[in-house]
Structure 1
């Protein structure tokens, strides 16, 4: 079908909607939706993904546009035009799962009505535009799985309406901002595969609506963040493949949150004993393999790490922290970056998507390496 010299709001273009005054206000080319629910647009489901670039320069006249949905295509080029003042009513931008490259423009601050921005799964570079932090209506910010890099901006704490903050899978680094503790409506926080350092701020206990805390492989070094257990709305905690150390909280504390259903701390350096999931929480998914736990004699087999770290690696790690050696360290796999998931319940837990957390070390770790590199360092020292 050719759309040349036709009028979208008079001739009812597919995937284009108009307001009551006959003005285009939505462009919806979600390829998955087109293939599954629009047989006229794609007879037999044969439509392929849209390719090429978005002709942003031709869209300047669409001042009533409120929705742009181009997710799941193969579009490249700039994710947004440099001049965004032409779209004062735009409140939803869905560009995830494409090949957009370049950076997000600073002028994004002009989109005062914007509520949802999802550009995850692209090839976007640069930093988070500080203009985003001025969008007081923004409830959804998803920029994960791109090539962005910067320190974590404290200004994101200004987004007091934010419900989803998904920034994992980028090159963000630095301490976790205290100001984020003001995000009282935040329900999902994804910090997967970031390069975090420092302690979890005490202010984060203010994230009282948090439901999903995802921070695997985030270079977090420190004790288990017990403040999470005070959040009554929390459903799952994902902290595998970090450098958590020390004991876990007691069973009474760990399994107290009423709707908490899953904890994954596999692939860390936790020691002590494994808390037992109470019978009343039999469906709880608790993954704790590849750590430095010490099973007690005659311990319940469900509380014994099936793939513990070698005692020498645990000892080396704790020595590098100047904390002393853990008591007979036994823990799963020798590489915390690829843990084998194990669970204390009858149904094993498959780890949710990764998400980095923070290194909340009360003691400053020394420069000594840990893991395999640490063992090599000790061997070299013994030969001197």
Structure 2
């Protein structure tokens, strides 16, 4: 492992790493890399499995070949802008973790029938510029191994409405973070979560404005998530009582409904 984070290395550092062929983990977070970075410059690092070049001023990450063993890639806060097509990472056949958070990506393109990144387990798109939340969620069905999805602090411009018809079935998804999305979530959305993400263990919707008829939304959306272990729905102006189905959620260990306007009894809850 080589950790060079928080220094003042520029692009020339890449060519100086050519003799470190056995290296498996490289951290260049928060340095002075800038412009276009071509993976070919790291081609000699044939055993590299983890690469973090976040926090730099990189506007393009060119992937033609190389780093075939890469499992973890962080490009967080690298000032990416505009459209990003996931096909650019097709050569990363073994990639399991991809962090694209804190960029200005207003359009994430996942082509219909996309068959790349089959091993991707964790995708972080927190605080990016994508506006169409419904389209984004539907495109995530192209990643069959996806286990964790982070979408917090986004600003979807419209209500996230997803009908069950045509919505992908997430067989492996266990962790979904959508807190502080600043977008209304309606009943059909939570119903789709319950029906298509039955293996979900962690769900955060805190600060996401669940909607006006909050009691109906919770009753119809959460009751099928029987494997849920952690549920965070704080700061959503929830009103009424907690849904009766909480009594059936025997796996639930953490329930955060703070900063709402709930009333009534919690005797039906497993807490």
For the aligned pair, the TM-score class normalised by the smaller chain equals: 0.7 to 0.9
Counterparts of 1:59 and 1:273, CA distance in 2: 62
Alignment partner, residue 206 of structure 1: 169
Residue 76 in structure 1 maps to residue 32 in structure 2: yes
Local SS of the residue matching 1:104: strand
Q: How many residues align?
A: 253
Corresponding residue to 1:126 among 69, 76, 81: 81
Distance 1:302 1:282, change over 3 A: farther
- Specify whether residues 301 and 249 from structure 1 end up closer, same or farther in structure 2 by C-alpha distance, changes over 3 A only: closer
Instruction: Check the 8 A contact 1:188/1:213 in 2, yes or no.
Output: yes
How big is each residue's C-alpha offset from its partner over 1:299-328, in whole Å with a ceiling of 9 and x where there is no partner? 31679xxxxxxxxxxxxxxxxxxxxxxxxx
Q: Which residue in 2 is equivalent to 1:186?
A: 146
Pairwise CA distance, 1:250: 3.4
Quick one: distance in 2 between partners of 1:59 and 1:155? Answer: 37
Q: 1:272 to 1:111 in 2, by over 3 A?
A: farther
The whole-number CA distance in structure 2 between the counterparts of 1:174 and 1:279 is: 34
- TM-score, normalised with respect to structure 1: 0.55
- Which residue of structure 2 lines up, in the alignment, with residue 268 of structure 1? 236
Aligned residue in 2 for 1:244: 210
- Number of the residue aligned with 1:152: 108
2:81 is aligned with 1:110: no
Asked if 1:216 corresponds to 2:179, the answer is yes
Q: Report the CA distance between 1:242 and its aligned residue.
A: 1.5
Which of 28, 43, 52 is residue 95 of structure 1 equivalent to?
Answer: 52
Structure 1 residues 89-115: Cα deviation after superposition (integer angstroms, max 9, x where no partner): 36534326x63112232x224346133
2:99 to 125, 142, 145: 142
Residues 263/62 of structure 1: CA separation in 2 closer, same or farther (3 Å cut): same
Note the alpha carbon deviations across 1:332-366, whole angstroms, 9 max, x for none.
Answer: xxxxxxxxxxxx676xxxxxxxxxxxxxxxxxxxx
Partners of 1:199 and 1:109 lie apart in 2 by: 37
* 8 A contact 2:86–2:108 mirrored in 1: no
Which ranges of 4 or more aligned residues in structure 1 deviate by more than 6 Å? none
The question of whether the paired residues in 2 share the 8 Å contact of 1:108 and 1:131 is answered with no
Distance across 2 between alignment mates of 1:179 and 1:77:
31
Q: Which runs of 5+ in 1 are unaligned?
A: 1-26, 32-48, 304-343, 347-384
Q: 1:271 to 1:154 in 2, by over 3 A?
A: farther
Q: C-alpha displacement at 1:143, in angstroms?
A: 1.9
**Where does residue 255 of structure 2 map in the other structure?**
286
